[in-house]
Chains A and B, each alone.
Chain A
Amino acid sequence: MTPDLKVQLAGIEFANPIMTASGCCGYGEELAGVFPLSKLGALVTKSITLKPRLGHPPPRTAETASGMLNAIGLANVGIDQFVAEKVPFLATQKTRIIVNVAGSKLQEYIEVATRLDDCEVVDMIELNISCPNVDEGGMEFGADPKMTEKSVAAVKKVFSRPVIAKLSPNVTSIVQIAQAAEQGGADAFSIINSLVGTSIDIETRRPRLTNNRGGLTGPAIKPVALAMVDAVYRSGCRPPIIGIGGIADYRDVVEFMLCGASAVQIGTALFIAPDTPVKIARDLKAYLKRTKLQSVTELIGKVKRY
């Protein structure tokens, strides 16, 4: 019997546990030129804000040991253009659609979520309360338990389908933030967003990013992400976890699921090998077969701890 890759999150079924991470696949059009998006469990869009944002001046990215830094600055078309020009394309794609929502004020999150509630194609929204690259909002929301609870609760009021809270690793206790998000009504967690970092060119003595600092992603952050997924899973929070951080192959996915993730998102790896999700799905199936499991869900939280 072929092993089953289907997973359920917040009452929604996904063809497999593999999603794209926000900011790593635009609005899906480009990635569809590499492989059919139906191969994904879900596509997570770039962060959408109320008004269009141009983003930061270049350079916006820098290579680091086993990873990268980015400070794109939430460049996006804004909710109006997203609904008018991007949603029609997404509606033709046979995969689940999750829209990432960002803002600098609570009211902006509410307005964007209200608009998205009218777009039937949007299965879930993911709240970016953890972006390290904007001056206000973003990470500030996600670093404070009260603001986290308040933002999730406010968005839950206007969006009738499940809401995911994307959590920042740049906090003292991610468990405390997760509990606050659950209190606010979060239906799932995405763990983690990027870690704050920077890099300096010693000849020019300037930071390699015009934003002076950015978010570290890629294989370098995987151990940190795994430990945070593990901590939230073991804390007894009820919402399922979507694991993110440096996933590049099926082995990484298995690790995240063993630590408690019900699904995963692929970010930086898409820049390096855009067909990564397809390869992971194939290899994950082979792994399940080899280890005699019927369903990928049998891996969730099954790490044998010492």
Chain B
Amino acid sequence: MSKIACQDTLITKKRHLSQDYFSLTFSPVSRANRCVPGQFIHLLLPSTDVTFRRAFSVASVSEDGNELEIIFRVVGRGTTLLAGLAKGDRVNILVPLGNRFTIPRKNERVLLIGGGIGFPPMMFLASRLLAKGHPADKIEFFYGGRSKDDILERTRIKKLGVRFHPVTEDGSFGEKGLVTQPVERVISEATGEKMRMYACGPEPMLKAVEALGVKYGIPGEISVEAPMPCGFGVCLGCVLPLKAGGYTRVCTDGPVYPFGEVVL
């Protein structure tokens, strides 16, 4: 069984990305360099207003493995409290948690699909694949949001050199419509090339991506979220039903699942 570090860390950088979106960098973080794309941290807020920790996908780790970044959107009590913290504030985190994305073969075209606040693990995966030598022109980065303000870190993603496909529902940035449109276009334009999909985002998007995978016979994985008390497999609170019957613990058996495994 994997070792989990339960540790105090400091917020060393806070960036307001747009509207309700923030980036926080924590340091020092022991085992940050062991974090791989798909994994998450479980963060304890310094407040009695919440009982549970809050889970966040890792958006990046620094090369020296000392810093870890998350990107989040303010949606409720926990994220409101988190957004109110400042540089220098102390939080406690559990790290690293969860399973990981399968690393694709270098000859595979990789389709990364992020919807809304589901994009951080896709960005982490893109940079890790590039670092491992995956050709940049074989990485397609699809990023969907409601409008321009929902498409974050645009310069950072462009700098990666991957093929960037921003999509907004109102057409205020990139292509107008749903993220699955350009995904399907890229799939149908590809000729005899092996492909693999990775997705993180809202449930309807994950369902649509899985459907594309089935339609075109492309393997892939989705990263899901669930309300999560403990984060390390003991409370059985974050379960999702499996298509094969029974339940799976999102925190330890997931959050990454192959297409078709969990009931969304």
Contact = CB atoms under 8 A, between A and B. Distances in A.
Interface stretch (A54-62, A153-161, A166-174): A54-62
B9 interface: no
B79 interface: no
A67 interface: yes
B6 A273 contact: yes
B236 A271 contact: no
B236 A60 contact: yes
B233 interface: yes
Nearest to A271: B230
A33 B234 contact: no
Contact of A31 (B48, B50, B234, B247): B234
A156 to B, nearest CB: 30
A55 B51 contact: no
Of B6, B44, B53, B252, the most chain A CB neighbours within 10 A belong to B6
A70 B232 contact: no
A283 interface: no
A31 B1 CA distance: 10
Interface string A268-285: 101111110000000000
Contacts of B1: 29-30, 32-33
B8 to A, nearest CB: 11
Interface in B198-237: 226-227, 229-237
Contact of B48 (A58, A66, A270, A274): A66
Contacts of B234: 24-26, 30-31, 270-271
Interface in A25-56: 25-26, 29-34, 54-55
A64 B49 CA distance: 9
A23 B235 CA distance: 7
Interface in B34-89: 44, 48, 50-53
A178 interface: no
Nearest to A25: B234
Nearest to A74: B236
Interface string B234-255: 1111111100001100001000
Contacts of A66: 48, 51
Nearest to A279: B6
A33 B251 CA distance: 14
B185 to A, nearest CB: 36
Interface size class of B (residues with CB under 8 A): 20 to 34
B186 interface: no
A32 B3 CA distance: 8
A63 interface: yes
B232 A274 contact: yes
A23 B236 CA distance: 9
B233 A70 contact: no
Contacts, number: 88
A218 interface: yes
Nearest to B232: A30
Contact of A218 (B3, B51, B226, B233): B51
Interface string A64-80: 10111010100100000
A272 B6 contact: no
A30 B236 CA distance: 12
B226 A58 contact: yes
A218 B52 CA distance: 11
B247 A271 contact: no
Given A54-B247, A271-B52, A272-B51, A33 B92 contact: no
B92 A273 contact: yes
Given A33-B232, A72-B237, A272 B94 contact: no
A64 B48 CA distance: 11
Among A25, A26, A57, A70, residue most surrounded by chain B Cβ atoms (within 10 Å): A26
Contacts of B188: none
A34 B2 CA distance: 9
Contact of B237 (A25, A57, A70, A270): A70
A197 B72 CA distance: 32
A283 to B, nearest CB: 16
B160 interface: no
A72 to B, nearest CB: 5
A63 B3 CA distance: 27
A98 to B, nearest CB: 16
B4 interface: yes
A272 B237 CA distance: 13
22 contacts: A24-B234, A24-B235, A25-B234, A29-B1, A30-B1, A30-B233, A30-B234, A30-B252, A33-B1, A58-B226, A58-B239, A61-B227, A61-B237, A63-B50, A68-B51, A268-B51, A270-B230, A271-B53, A271-B230, A272-B53, A273-B6, A274-B6
Interface of A: 23-26, 29-34, 54-55, 57-61, 63-64, 66-68, 70, 72, 75, 218, 268, 270-275
Interface of B: 1-4, 6, 44, 48, 50-53, 92, 94, 226-227, 229-241, 246-247, 252
Cβ-closest 9 pairs across A and B: A61-B237, A271-B230, A30-B233, A26-B234, A271-B229, A33-B1, A275-B6, A63-B51, A72-B236
